[in-house]
Structure 1
Amino acid sequence: LKSAFGQKNIMIPFLNAVLKTDTIIDIDYRNIENWGLSPEDRKVFYDVYCHTSDGNDIIVEMQKREQKYYRDRCIFYSSFPIQRQFLDAKSEFLMQFDDKSEKPPFIWDYRLHPVYVISILDFVMQHEPSWPQDRFHSYYRLQEETYHENYSYILNFIFIELPRFNKVAEDIGDDIDRWMYLFKNMSKLQSVPKNFEKTWMSDLFDTAKIANFAPKERQKYLEDQKMLYDYQNCIDFA
């Protein structure tokens, strides 16, 4: 998955499906290695970290084993993009002045854009007793306790619990169902299921197939693909 999510043509449809939107048309991948505001702060590594065309910072984490304080870890991770937003705002402010001019003090207005931490989990999280056993997708943000008024849309935590997803191909509904089915069954599939025929699904399937090739097979496949693309471009140009 990490190699697949490094490709925009796969990552963008995934984010639109998880966030139930169609507004993300491009993303800018950012450094997965992050420091705090001082050298003494702990360094963290994300699986994927990107900024979307509609102004959101998104972290995607894939976690195979249960971790006691994983929810707290997600909150900790979300603090780094927020710190970066401050640094980016300050940098953008300073770029207005040349090196020789006297710069006024930077005063930040604290305006933030949304941060999403999306976790794909290969284990079942702990929930309230009334939580449905087959509900695999949970979405948390800051709310007032009694009237559930949203305090802020800035911090968003999404958890996808793969063991809770048990649908068969015939019961698949929307794109998030398709993603979950592929996540769980990719290693057993020989081809893309008929009702899954979308460009990004074929791309994901091809990426997974290539990842399992031996080094020589992978090189030959990529060379064959290049010859095919070159030939198609010649036809299109003619």
Structure 2
Amino acid sequence: MTEFVLRLTVRTASRDLGRQDALWERLIQWCEPRALFIGGAPESAVIYAPLHPITARRRRELAAWLDRCPEIQTYQLKAEALSDLRSLRAKAACLEAFSQAQRYLAERMAECSDALAGLHPPASRRWRASVGNGGNCLELDSRDLGIGIAIFRSNRAPHPQFSTFSGRYLELGDLATLELDWMSLVWAQVLSDGDLSVGQWVARSQHWMIHLYASTTAPLAHREVMLRWMEAVCES
């Protein structure tokens, strides 16, 4: 499916940078309540709408707003496919708009998770901790979510703190001393024909390797495992 963005090119009557910055700020303020995300600068901007397509009516509303700006001499609005963006400036503007949309959606997801967390008893956000593989692996299991994680040091050596967690019910925040940044982990699916890897993911950082998987009592596909994990991280 081809995804489109809205290209906006503005030529102002004045070269005054202060006025151009003020125009840009007003344009951002117009876009924000409409879930439109804009990147770049007035002379080369990209508007991205991940929640709803930019309809002809919305384009007319934006054009009417631009028409009322006395500092704008001319402007052009054009729907363009992502694959047709050629200039580095346009691509940079597009990445900026995407980044803003990503932050917005992450914040909304966190707010939703916070609201859902209030509906769960505290135990549903806790993990049963145990130590395996001769002490070099910390395993956390959530019976309520039906998923588990296994944490290894990147060199596979035992960690002295693992034993202090064993046998306890923990929240992810209780592992702060391990300096694991859950939100920054980049996950990759583990694909195999064997049943044991169904729904399994792996992530690596400088000091850690983490396996995420469905509990043996709740075989789940990759997507469901990751959705449940994201819920747990946002709650923590």
TM-score of the superposed pair, with normalisation by structure 2 = 0.23
| Richer in strand (by share) | 2
